[in-house]
A = this chain, B = another copy of it.
Amino acid sequence: MKQIQSKDNPLYKKALRIAQGRKVGRETWVWLEGIHLCQAWLDRGYEVAQLWVDAERLELDQELQQLIKRVPAQQIIQLPSALMRQLSQVEHGQGVGAVAAMPEHVLGQTIHHSCVYLDRVQDPGNVGTLLRTVAAAGIDAVYLSPGCAAVWSQKVLRSAQGAHFALQLYENVSIDDFLERLCVPLYVTALEQAQSLYTMKLPPSVAWAFGNEGQGVAPALLQAASQAVYIPQSTAVESLNVAVAAAVCLFEHRRQHGVN
């Protein structure tokens, strides 16, 4: 285990840049804040570049002691609470975070499996909740259009609760790039000229597109869709939150295909 005492340590300065979401070199690094995210990452068999731990809290906190056992000693760095608080991106941090290399997936020639396309979903909390919902629904690939919240940002990581590590994530995929690869039927949610989710038989593999919070999905997606779908809702409110609408669709699909 290493000990770092100075804020001028080069490794610490690099970690700080990464935690703050700034670029470091050519590689794409990510800051995984807190016990749960680090655990979820390690559970997937991924490695960390460094695990940063508050030395004072480590002495007292059994959960932290358990966590560091899972990481090779040479990757663990202990540091004073004051330095750890600088690294931490949340108000009441747990005294731990990891620097890790972001998994990168290269867009294939074709898309043959169930997946989700997010069209300009701007709110980081919505994107995070969507990822968590998609993973829980058993789908493993998400394509994000330009204009979506940055998928590896701290806010998205926080609300996705580790779902990132269960998914293949493709950022900055234009509608054209997505459509020209797509070999499964495209279903989009729409309020007009759409069929009720509860009166249709969903095919085994579906690509679902969910759109911007205010504007919904782009016309190009609607035109390319095999089916436009609406969720039969009360008129008491105008619409559903995008992550909630996605949940209703994805779990109805799961129900129809007998996953109990």
Hey, which bits of chain A sit against chain B, CB under 8 A? 125, 129, 132-133, 135-138, 140, 159, 161-163, 166-167, 196, 198-199, 231-234, 236-241, 243-244, 247-248, 251-252, 254-255, 259-260
Contacts and interface: CB of A to CB of B under 8 A. Distances in A.
Contact of A244 (B129, B166, B260): B129
Nearest to A259: B232
B199 A260 contact: yes
A238 B140 contact: no
A251 to B, nearest CB: 5
10 contacts: A135-B234, A136-B240, A138-B234, A140-B236, A196-B260, A231-B251, A240-B247, A243-B244, A248-B251, A252-B255
Contacts of A260: 196, 198-199, 232
Contacts of A137: 233-234
Contact of A135 (B132, B136, B232, B237): B237
A71 to B, nearest CB: 21
A164 to B, nearest CB: 10
B132 A244 contact: yes
A129 B241 contact: yes
B255 A198 contact: yes
A251 B232 CA distance: 9
A161 B237 contact: yes
A132 B166 contact: no
A237 B234 CA distance: 30
Contacts of A239: 136, 161
A237 B166 contact: yes
Contact of A238 (B162, B232, B244): B162
Given A125-B125, A232-B260, A234-B138, A240 B132 contact: yes
Contacts of A234: 135-138
